[in-house]
Amino acid sequence: MPASKIAITLDEKILERIDRLVRERRFPSRSRAIQEAIAEKLSRLDRSRLARECAKLEPVYEQRLADEGLDGDASEWPEY
């Protein structure tokens, strides 16, 4: 995937922690450490959004939708 360069401002303590992780070879560079941190945060946000949306569902209603049309005789269903 193509990458773009950006300029960001970080708190000194955060930058020190990132630099320590790079020195310990947990990340090959500052850029990779920040990129992975952002990707992980975005993934968490996506999962929490999905959980919030799922919490809005009504299980009984959703089950009725899922079962809709299954009352008919299976012999009437098209062959696959």
Distance in angstroms (rounded) separating the CA atoms of residues 32 and 77: 53
What pLDDT, on a 0 to 100 scale, did the predictor assign at position 62?
A: 83
Q: Tell me the residue type at 34.
A: I
Question: pTM for this structure?
Answer: 0.60
Tokens 């995937």 appear where? 1
Q: Where are the domains of the chain?
A: 12-65
> Radius of gyration over alpha carbons of the chain, in Å?
24
pLDDT in tens, 59-77: 888 888 878 766 666 667 7
With a cut of 70, which residues of the chain have pLDDT below it? 69-75
